[in-house]
Structures are given as structure tokens and as C-alpha cells.
Structure 1
Amino acid sequence: MDVIERAQEDLARGDNIAARDRLVSALARNPASPGILELLAYTHLVLGDRAAAGAAWFLTDISDDDPTASAAFAALERQYRSPLALAQALPIHAPSDWYPTHARLRLERLGASIEANGQRWVPPRDVVYFDEDGLDSDDFYGSDGDQDDSEYDRTGSSYRTVRQRAIAATIVIAIAATSASVVLALVFG
């Protein structure tokens, strides 16, 4: 059973908080999933948080003309008065080009509004940070769709970071060992 089915079961049981938490955790593994983002938006509506619903829908392909979504977008704008604060409230976990067309257009308009205020904002995943070894460890982490969601509770991000760094370190050590053996073979060979 996938995360969307589990969240729908949570909602059917009336456990809206569990559904929300499950979907938020799932965004770490599937950051631009339209199904997860849309169900998360509806879950926020059920919980009475229109602004959070607007933040989730902001990253989907839902039309700006959709009455429910436009009301949620308006609530999002009322809660976050400045464009920069609104941008920082979005659940962006992927590069902006991973999101559908309507979402990218909204992100572009938001970026232009931020710039018009004399501020600068780059969606968080559009910037690549390299660790001390010069590797982007995110590139070494794959999607483990068959893992149990329980591994991805509040400590999930630290689990991924340790795993990413371990894989990256292993690759760096393998490259160094291979390079050292080639140099030794050339010198003493």
C-alpha cells in the first residue's frame, strides 16, 4: 500500500493529523508528487488551515481559477503579507523545474514580486550545496519506495543525511584507493 492510500485510510478513520504527518514525511521522498501535494492540500482544508492548503496547492498544476484553490491562495497571501515570507512558507523540496507548469508560473511570479521589493530569493532546491568533499550527497540518495514510512518520522532527515554522507564517503574512498594504486603501479611497476 502506498502513502496516498495510507493517508486516505487515515482520513477515512478521522485521523487527519496522522494523514497530514504521513504526507509531509512522504514529500521528503517524493518532493514534487502531485498526488501527495494535492491530498496534503485537501488534508489541510479538513484541518481548517486554508493557508497551508494554499501552500501545498501552490506547487501543483491546479488552476488559479479553481474556486477552492483561489480561496486557499488568498488565505496564504493574507497570512504571509510579504512575498518573501510567502515563498519561505512553501513546502519546496525539489528543484522548481520538477513542478508542473502552473506551479512554475506561480513560482516565477512570486520571484518577480520578491525582486520588485528589492529582495532576492532562489527556491531552496535550485541551489546546490556541496559538502566538504566537493560532492552533492543528494545525488547519491535514491528513492526507496519499498521502505516503511516509520523510518521517516521526525528523525528521517537525519537518517537520510547520514546515509547520503556514508555513500558519498565510500565513493570518495574508492576513488582515492584506485588513484593511489595506479600511482604506485606507475612508480614501482
Structure 2
Amino acid sequence: MDVIDRAQEDLARGDSIAARDRLISALVRNPASPGILELLAYTYLVLGDRPAAGAAWFLTDKSDDDPTASAAFAALEKQCRSPLALARALPIHAPSDWYPARARNRLERLEAAVEANGQHWMPPRDVVYFDEDGLNSDDFYDSGVDWDDDDLDGSRGGSSYRSVRQRAIAATIVLAIAATSASVVLALVFG
């Protein structure tokens, strides 16, 4: 049973908060999942949070002409009051090119609106940061692992295991670079 099935069971039991929390946690592992974002938007509607539903739908292929989505988009714009505030309200956890065409178009329009206000915004995962050793932390994101839904709470490892594993890999690479550099320096000095 996947996270969408479990969230639908939560909703059927009337536990909208559990469904919302389950779906938000699942976005960490599958940030551009259309099914998760769609169900999250509907869950927010059940909870009475129309702006949050608009933020989730913003990243989907939902048509701007859809009456329910357009009302949610309008509520989001009304709540945020500026393009930059709206940008910061989005649950965006993946590079913009991971999202469907309509979502990418909305993101491009949003970025243009932010710049028209004299501000700057780029979807967070579109920016690549290098630490002082020149390593890109996104290179260690292990998207190929299929984590079990029971791991969402960390009881059997889950994201905490992934984080420790990623740090161990990064530390090993840094040590290998340092050892190689040290051997080159020693060869030059004593060679």
C-alpha cells in the first residue's frame, strides 16, 4: 500500500490531519509527485485551507480554468499579497523542471512578477550551492532508494538513515580528496 492509499484511508476515517501530515512527509521523498500534490490540495480543501490548496495545485498540471483550483489560486494570491510571499508559500522541493508544463509556466510567470517588483526569486531547488570544499550537497541525494512508507516517522531508519549515509559518503569523498592532495604535496616536497 502506498502513501496515497494510506492518506485516502485517513480521509475516509475522517482524519484529515493525519492525511495532510502523511502527504507532506511524502513530498520529501517524492517532491514533484502529481498524485501526492493533488491529494494534498484536496486534503487542504477538506481542512478549510483554500490558500494551501492553491499552493499545492500551483505545482500540478491543474488547469487555471478549473473552478475549484482557480478559487484556491485566488485565495492564495489574496493571502500572500505579493508575488514574493506567494513564491515562499509554495511547497516546492524539487527543481522546477520536475513539475508538469502548466506548473512550470506558473513558476515562470511568478518569477517574472517577483522581478517586476524589483525583487529576486528562483525556485529553491534550481539553485545549486557548493560548500567550501566544492561539493554539491544535492549530489548525495539518494532518489533511487524506494523507502517504505512506515519509515516516514523515522522508526525504522527512513530519512535519518539516508542523512547519516549521505554524510558518511560525503566525508569519505572529502577524506579521499584530502589524502590525494597530501600525497601529492609529500611527493613534491620529498620527491
| Shorter-chain TM-score range | 0.7 to 0.9
Among 167, 170, 173, the alignment partner of 2:172 is 170
Q: Give the counterpart letter for 2:173 in structure 1.
A: I
2:14 — aligned with what? 14
The CA deviation at 1:140 is 1.1
Give the distance between the partners of 2:187 and 2:116, measured in 1 at CA. 60
Give the distance between the partners of 2:131 and 2:167, measured in 1 at CA. 9
Q: How does 1:112-151 map to 2 (within 5 A)?
A: 112-143=112-143, 144-147=145-148, 148-151=151-154
1:90 — aligned with what? 90
Following TM superposition, the consecutive aligned residue runs of length 4 or more in structure 1 with deviations greater than 2 angstroms are 156-166, 174-189
Q: Give the counterpart letter for 1:132 in structure 2.
A: E
The CA deviation at 1:158 is 6.8
Q: Give the counterpart letter for 2:2 in structure 1.
A: D
Secondary structure at the aligned position of 1:36 is classed as helix
What TM-score do the two structures reach when normalised by structure 2? 0.86
Residue segments in structure 2 that go unaligned for 5+ positions in a row: none
Residues 1:104 and 1:33: Cα distance change in structure 2 (over 3 Å): same
Secondary structure at the aligned position of 1:51 is classed as helix
2:78 — aligned with what? 78
Identity %: 84
Residue pair 2:154, 2:160 contacting (<8 A) in 1 also: no
Give the distance between the partners of 2:18 and 2:118, measured in 1 at CA. 40
Which deviates the most, 136-145 or 48-57? 136-145
Residue pair 2:130, 2:137 contacting (<8 A) in 1 also: yes
Which deviates the most, 90-99 or 169-178? 169-178
- Once the two structures are superposed, what CA deviation does each residue of 1:59-104 show, in whole Å capped at 9, x if it has no partner? 0011101111111001101111111100000001011111110001
Residue pair 1:44, 1:50 contacting (<8 A) in 2 also: yes
- Once the two structures are superposed, what CA deviation does each residue of 1:109-162 show, in whole Å capped at 9, x if it has no partner? 11111111111111111111122321112211213323322229xxx8776554
Residue pair 2:152, 2:159 contacting (<8 A) in 1 also: no
Give the distance between the partners of 1:98 and 1:46, measured in 2 at CA. 27
> How many residue pairs get matched?
186
Give the distance between the partners of 1:159 and 1:130, measured in 2 at CA. 23
CA RMSD of aligned residues (A): 2.4
1:107 — aligned with what? 107
Give the distance between the partners of 2:165 and 2:183, measured in 1 at CA. 27
The CA deviation at 1:188 is 8.6
Give the distance between the partners of 2:14 and 2:59, measured in 1 at CA. 26
The CA deviation at 1:44 is 0.4
